[in-house]
Structures are given as structure tokens and as C-alpha cells.
Amino acid sequence: MIQQVIFAIAVVGALGFAFNKYAKILRNIRLGGEYSTDGGDFERMKNVALIAFGQKKMFKRMVPAVMHLFIYAAFMITQIELLEIFIDGFLGTHRFFWDSLGWFYTFTISFIEILSVLAFIATVVFLARRNALKLPRFHMDEMTGWPKWDGNIILVLEFMLIIFIFHMNGADEVLYNIGKAHAEGMEYGEVGSYGFAISRFAGPLMFGWLADYGDFGVWILNLLERFGWWGHILTVLCFLMYLPFSKHLHIMLAFPNTYFAPLNSRGEMENMPDVMNEVKMMMGLTEMSADAPTEDELPEFGAKDVFGLSWKNILDAYTCTECGRCSSVCPANMTGKKLSPRKIMMDIRDRADEVGRNLDSGDYNRNNYDDGKSLFDYISREEIHACTTCNACVEACPVMISPMEPILKLRRYEILTESAGPGDWVPMFTSIENGGSPWQVTDARDKWATDALDENQ
Amino acid sequence: MSNKLQIPVMSELAAQGVEPEVLYWVGCAGSFDARAQKVAVAFAKIMNEAEISFAILGQEENCTGDPARRAGNEFVFQMMALQNIETLNMYKVKKIVTACPHCFNTLKNEYPALGGNYDVIHHTQFINDLIKEGKLVMKGGSAFAGKRITYHDSCYLGRVNGVYEAPREILQQLDNHLVELKRSKTNGLCCGAGGSQMFKEDEPGEKRINEARVEEALETGAEIIVANCPFCITMMTDGVKAKDKQDHVMVVDISEMIVSNKRL
């Protein structure tokens, strides 16, 4: 009974805490502006199926893809066991489904165990890749301090989850072997084996010797089983509460992010109807309307803060798990420029978090937000100027994030609102505007043709 | 060349009441850059050879606005784009071919939102179609025959618009030995010109992007780097010079290989 009460308190407390945090993240995402998600339902579902569930884009790099698949599959399938843990926790039962599901129970738990072993291997490999192998993408400038910790903490938590599962099943197996187990529908004193694929061997191997110690051994085995059970569920709850502070949110957000990913051509930069209409009026293509807005303040174009981005850009930022595939293929980054597409996404998330915290403090409100800071306090001009818009980062992202789009929105702010930007671009703009070509030229545009005709008489 | 080269201008054809099948969008590089002008002529020769009814806009063509838009200057982009769309719609243009992937992308993907809807194709796709239709038959042997070549995917034709095969299919028709770059197709590495980098100094760094890309191209041992974009050609040519390999490695557009093959 006492266990049930503690369990209920832990679950309700953790869910309450987590709900509050997730609600804030949702609020932060909605700080962003409009983003059209019209149409293409089928295509969107297809993307979710192939790219989020199917991890299609991960498989561009085989080793991490397979390792990641192990952890992903183990995580997904463990949810079934988690369901039983919740039922057992609330009802005070033990292995609620054991009797009723029969062979299918053994099969399911065996499946979970095999995947857990694979996930264990993957976790070791990932820890090694991060810390021992020194893969360049895990050691860029933005991966120091908290992001480095974060990556390792997640892996250690995964490690613990797996260890606890085998503690639980292993100790329980030994108890069953000596007739001291008590699953639902099992007669106490029944001697047998759960027959789970791994723990039927690993259990006796790890804890079998305790059976020689009589009641004390049984007491220890029960303690180990409970330790595993509680350890597992408490780690799950910690995980849930930790996620909103972590890069690891991708386990949830990868799905909506893939669903909402743009369906239009990558090559199309979002049109700016306000600018288009103004230029149309200027060119006399549309009638000057009498009720044209006469604002005192100049309108703000592009983005200088999270408010100027779309909510999808911010969702992108919270979805990013800092894998760094984008930065490892970025031509600017690989030639030593300051730009790192991953850092852009991390900066947007950190800024959204900061704005969110300030809103929570009650000193600021959403509609008139000004804390004297902006995204430009996180992202330098040098970074946004280095982008070649080559789309390699967009192509590389396994969860359909576009680091390029916010870069271009920041450029728009810089050029259109601040009239700033690289000095070299000024003559280019002037030449285009006045001569219809980015180079200042005096020749006629078809001189190449007339020359060629002369030569080929 | 037996017949006289012809590069008709749209306004002149319109005056005669002639509507050409396809508009050849030359672009700023093709019009003004000395190196890209050669590509423009090469492609014009190919169209002459295949007896395509085409025209250029000539003086009426303007920058598509791509470099301005990607630098962030939407005003200048809109000015160019709306003006070009006015002109194109006035001539009732339906099909556009261009030898510049940046023009290609902007005309194809960005003009529709502004009221310009055309069937836009890149010259490598156009040439590949001509070969498939039998309108352009390759000859055996040419200055490039038997050479080891490599093909550089431009970002805006490749990764952005997914055209990887048409240029490679053309290269198969020519008598070459194609060695793929280690980064190619979806993984292709940018030449460094896109996003208006062409028009500014590099940001501080360890290396120039074009040099990094040329290093990869040199690793293939190719004597010829084949490109499909005037800006890539500039960047790769500069990179080859920076590596002091200009006497051993050439950078050419696919159309120039055709012209060489056909002795046009």
C-alpha cells in the first residue's frame, strides 16, 4: 500500500511538473509568427511515416543510423512494459499481464530485452563517439559546457534504464527459479522460469548465488527486484522532467516537426506580399489605394527576434537534438568560418527560452516585448553573412529542420529594416536596381550575341 | 559551321508576328561575364544545330533578382522579378530554358508566387532531351574524348531542384571517363558562390570554399571539371588557379563539351 501511495505521488508530481514545462515550451513556440500548413495531408503523413517513424534520413550515415535505430526501437517497445509498470504501480500488482497474456507476454518482454541489449551496445558506442573518438561534429565551439553535459546525461540515463530493467527481470527470474516469485495469477511456491530471452540466463548468472543464502538471499533478491522496478520508473519520470531542459525533446517533436515541414520547393524563399504590393504600386502595376496604411513607424521586415520568425522556425529549434549533421556538411563551417547551422538553431531555442522566462517573470508582456536584447545578441553578423544558401544543412537534417530559413530572415532584417549588411553588397544592389545586373556594366546586354553573330558570319 | 549563327531577339520576332517555342534566358553571367559569354554562345550554337525555334529577351532581360533576394534585399528582388514577369507575360512566354541554375531556380520556383508561371528547364535537361529525341547526335572523338573528367553538381540544380541525372546522361554520351567526386549529388559541396557570396569578400576563415571544392576535384585525378553553372565555373576556375593547376585542369560547361564534340 505504501508503495502505491509513493508511486502515485511520484507519478502525479512528475507529470504535473512536466506538463507545466511542456506548456511553456508550447507557449515559446507560439511566440513565432504565422506559418501556413495548408494542404498536403497525405504527403505530410507520408513524411511522418518515412522520415520520423522510418528514420529515412538517418540512413545517410550507416553506423550512427543503426545504433540510433537500436535505441529508438528499444525506447518505443519499452513503452509496452511501461504500461504494465504503471498498472502495477497503481494497483499494487506484480506483472499484471503475465498470466492473461501467456506466451505473448514472454515474447514481448523477450523482445524488449533483446532490444535493450542492442540499445546498451548503442549507448556504449554513442558515449565513446562523443567522448573518446572525438568526432569533429561533437566538438565544435557550440558543443562546450551545457550541450556537452546534456548529451552525456541523456546517454547515462538511458544506460540506467537498461540496467534497471535487467535488475528487475534478472532478480525476478532467480526468485521464480526457487519458487519465491509472486506474479499475478502465479501460485506462490511455483518453481519455474519466465523464459525471457536474456534474463533467463543473465538473472541466474548475476544473482543466482544469492539463492544459497536462504531467506536473507530471498530478501536481497526481492530488494534487487524492487530496486530495478523503482529505479526504472523513477528514471523514466526523471527523463520526462528532464526533457524540457534538454536537446533530447526530438523524441517527441520530431513527429510534429516532420508533419509541418514545408512541402513547397526548397528553392522558394518565402514571398513577402507587403514588399511585393508596395513595389507593384511603385511600378504602377496596381492602383494606389486610398486607404493604404499610413503608419508613422516604418514597418519591420525580416526577423530580429523570435517574434519575427515563424512558429515553425521555433519548433525547429526545440526539435534540434544537436547532432551536428548540418554543421558537418556546411561549406562555410568546414572552411573555418564562424557559421554553424546547429548553433543558429541552438541560439534560437536559447533566445526563445530567455524570452519565455522573462514573460514568466511578469515584467514583460508578449505584445510589447522589449528586454533590450534580440537574436543578434546570440547570432553575429559574421555568421549570417557566411551562408551560401547551398541547402546542405537542410538536406542533412534527419528531422526536417531548416537552419537556412532563419538565417535568411535575419539577413532580411539587416538589409531591409536596418539598411545595414556587408558593404560589398551595396554596389551590387545599386547595379541591379539601376542596370538590371549585379555587375556595373556599360555594354549592352545582348552584346555577347551581336559579337558572336559577327564572328560566325 | 555551315549555316550562319542565329540568335533571334524576342522583340524583333514579335514585330514579325513570330512566337518562338522557347525563350532562352541568358542571365547576367551569360550576358556580361567573359567566361560565361562563351557558354552562352555554345548553347546558342547547340540550339541552332538542333534547329530550335528560340529567342532571347536581349535588352529587355533583367537580373532575376536572385542575388538580391538571397542577400536579404526583397525590394530589389521584387523590382526585378515584377519587371521581368511583365515582359515575359507580354510576350506570352510559355517555356524558358536557361544555362544558369540560379536563374532557373528563381524563374521556376519563385516567380509563380508573383504571377509568373512558366515551364522552366535548365539547359542540361534541354540538351539531354534533344539527344534523346535524336535532334542532337554525338560524334565520335573530340578534344575531350577519352579524358578523365569529373562532374560538379551545382547546389541550385542538384540539391535544391533534384536534377542529378540529366547532366550525367549527357556525359555518358560523350566519350569520357567520368569519376564521381566523393561528395556528389545530394551531398555535393557548394563552390562558394551562392547566397550572394559571389558579390562579396569571404567571411574570415581558414580556407576559401572554392579551394576546398577544387581539392576534392583534384583528388579524382580528372583533367576536366564539368560544371553546369556560370558561378561554379568562375569559382572552380579561381580555385584551380589558386592550386596552380590551370595548365593541367580545365573547367568547362557541359554545353562546351557538346560544341567540341560536334565541332560547332
3-state secondary structure B187-200: HCCCCCCCCCHHHC
pLDDT at site A302 = 96
A-interface mutation test, from B10, B24, B197, B236, most A Cβ less than 10 A away: B197
Contact B190 A390 (CB under 8 A): yes
Confidence of residue A288 (pLDDT cuts 50, 70, 90): low
Q: Among residues of chain A, what percentage have pLDDT more than 70?
A: 98
Which domains does chain B carry? 10-129 (3.40.50.1860), 138-262 (3.40.50)
What is the per-residue pLDDT for A203? 96
Cβ-Cβ contacts under 8 Å, A440 against chain B: none
pLDDT value of position A294: 56
Of A335, A452, A457, which has the smallest distance from its Cβ to B207's Cβ? A335
Please state the rounded mean pLDDT for residues A107-133. Answer: 96
**pLDDT tens readout for residues B194-209:** 999 999 999 999 999 9
ipTM: 0.96
State yes or no: pLDDT of A287 exceeds 80: no
Mean pLDDT to the nearest integer, A221-229: 96
Domain spans of chain A, in order of start: 2-30+61-259, 300-424
What is the rounded distance in angstroms from the CA atom of residue B192 to the CA atom of residue B173? 29
**Cα–Cα nearest to A177, from A197, A195, A162, A165:** A195
Model confidence at B113: pLDDT above 90 = yes
User: Is residue B141 over pLDDT 80?
Assistant: no
Q: Give the range among A243-252, A270-279, A291-300 with minimum mean pLDDT.
A: A291-300
Q: How confident is the model at residue A289 (pLDDT cuts 50, 70, 90)?
A: low
CB atoms within 10 A of CB A148: 16
- The pLDDT value recorded for residue A1 is 81
| Phi and psi, residue A92, nearest 5° | 75, 20
Does A424 contact B200 at a Cβ distance shorter than 8 Å? Answer: yes
Residue in A303, A373, A383, A381 with CA at minimum distance from that of residue A343 = A383
At residue B4, the pLDDT reads 87
**Phi, psi (degrees; rounded to nearest 5) at A249:** -55, -15
Confidence of residue A53 (pLDDT cuts 50, 70, 90): very high
Q: pLDDT tens-digit profile of A60-113?
A: 999 999 999 999 999 999 988 999 999 999 999 999 999 999 999 999 999 999
Cβ <8 Å between A429 and B32:
no
* The pLDDT of residue B1: 44
Higher pLDDT, A239 or A182: A239
pLDDT single digits (tens) A17-36: 999 999 999 999 999 999 99
Q: Could you report how far apart the first and last alpha carbons of chain B are, in Å?
A: 6
Give the pLDDT of residue B145: 82
Q: What rounded mean pLDDT belongs to chain A?
A: 94
Quick check: B173 contacting A, CB < 8 Å?
A: no
Task: Give the mean pLDDT of chain B.
Answer: 96
CB contact under 8 Å between B160 and A448, yes or no, is no
Report whether pLDDT(A368) > 80: yes
CB-based contacts of A420, cutoff 8 Å, min separation 6 = A381, A414
Task: Compute the distance between CA of residue A264 and CA of residue A37 in angstroms, rounded to an integer.
Answer: 11
Inter-chain CB proximity B114 and A428 less than 8 Å: no
Q: Are A272 and B72 in contact (CB under 8 A)?
A: no
The correct CATH number of A300-424 out of 3.40.50, 1.10.1060, 1.10.260, 1.10.760 is 1.10.1060
**Identity of the residue numbered B140:** G
Residue of B nearest to A455 (CA): B5
Contacts of B110 in chain A (CB under 8 A): 267-269, 271
